[in-house]
């Protein structure tokens, strides 16, 4: 099934976050299939949304908020 075309989000990330994406993509890749950083981002989105949809575990939302708060970057929409 073809992917739906969507406007790409242009999200600014830190060098540390880019390194985490690169390392995670490398660790998920295999000799048969390379995983892109975009695929890692899509996986993370699905995983977080699924976890929150199943009812977050105690402290999970606070943990996510702390991670987001410590990034220092704020989107201005």
Kindly report the backbone phi and psi dihedral angles of residue 22, in degrees, each rounded to the nearest multiple of 5, phi listed first: -60, -45
pLDDT digits (tens, 9 = 90+) for 2-19: 666 677 778 889 999 999
Q: Model-level pTM greater than 0.95?
A: no
| pLDDT in the model for residue 37 | 95
């Amino acid at each position: 099934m073809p992917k739906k075309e969507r406007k790409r989000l242009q999200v600014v990330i830190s060098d540390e976050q880019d390194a985490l994406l690169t390392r995670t993509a490398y660790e998920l890749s295999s000799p048969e299939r390379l995983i892109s950083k975009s695929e890692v981002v899509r996986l993370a989105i699905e995983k977080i949304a699924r976890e929150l949809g199943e009812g977050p575990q105690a402290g999970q939302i606070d943990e996510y908020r702390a991670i987001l708060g410590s990034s220092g970057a704020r989107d201005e929409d």
